[in-house]
Structure 1
Amino acid sequence: MSANEYIQQFSPHLFWDVRKEELDFDAHAQYVIKRVLEYGLLNDWNLIKTYYGLPRIVKIVKELRDLEPRALAYISAISKTPKEQFRCYTWKQLNPQLWNF
């Protein structure tokens, strides 16, 4: 299946702010994966897992500077990778917020 066919199968709310036709799955992999992890449905997760593969997703997510705690817990559990290996987890620990509401 081509990247354009994958894009058409994603939930409409995921990429509402960009033109889907101009979205390059390989060049914008970090953007696509982060968006799906934070706002996607299970079907969206299955699409990126099929396209990228779990090892590549984990490698990309490890480099993210910020990620919602729920998404981090999910990718950590699915890949059996400790949270401490993700940059978003260690960066958050090093830079605590003064007021966390």
Structure 2
Amino acid sequence: MYFDNYKQFPDAKLDMKLLWEYDLEKVDLSAMKSTVVQRVVERGWPDDWYFILNFYGVDGVREAIKKIAYLNDKDMYFVSHQFGLPLNEMKCYEKKQSVKQHWNS
């Protein structure tokens, strides 16, 4: 995994700008795991990755990734490779496959 050294950064902080539309005083990072992980996958910097890996654990992040409804192709393939997730176990891949492609037949 690209971030194998995440335990060397226990003080990494999550950039709360990733959750800009939420009331930051009421944000429960445990309850919003899927949202937080999706934002970090899409827009996070290394400190954000270190934070989620330390806060949720590798297995917690892996499980959250499986539940994300949408990721672009680049992000989907990146997390699939980095976390050893088969594409068919990811909700975003399953949803993408169920959408009919008009010009790609």
TM-score (ref. length: structure 1): 0.78
Q: 1:23 to 1:97 in 2, by over 3 A?
A: farther
TM-score, normalization: structure 2?
0.75
Distance 1:56 1:12 in 2: 20
Q: Which residue of 1 aligns with 2:21?
A: 17
* C-alpha RMSD of the superposition: 2.3
Question: Which is further off, 32-41 or 59-68?
Answer: 59-68
Q: Deviations over 1:2-45 (max 9, x none)?
A: xxxx8x92225312222222110111111111111111111101
Q: Which of structures 1 and 2 has the larger relative contact order (alpha carbons within 8 angstroms, sep 6+)? A: 2
Give the % identical residues: 27
Which segments of 5 or more consecutive residues in structure 1 lack a partner in the other structure?
1-5
Superposition misfits of 4+ residues, deviation over 6 angstroms = none
> Which residue identity is paired with 1:19?
D
Question: SS of the residue aligned with 2:20?
Answer: coil
For structure 2, the residue ranges without an aligned partner over 5 or more in a row are: 1-10
SS class of match (1:53): helix
Q: Which residue of 2 aligns with 1:83?
A: 87
Q: Take 1:82 and 1:26, find their aligned partners in 2: how far apart are those partners?
A: 25
Specify the code of the residue in structure 2 equivalent to 1:50: N
Question: Aligned residue pairs: how many?
Answer: 94
State the distance in 1 between where 2:33 and 2:53 align.
Answer: 12
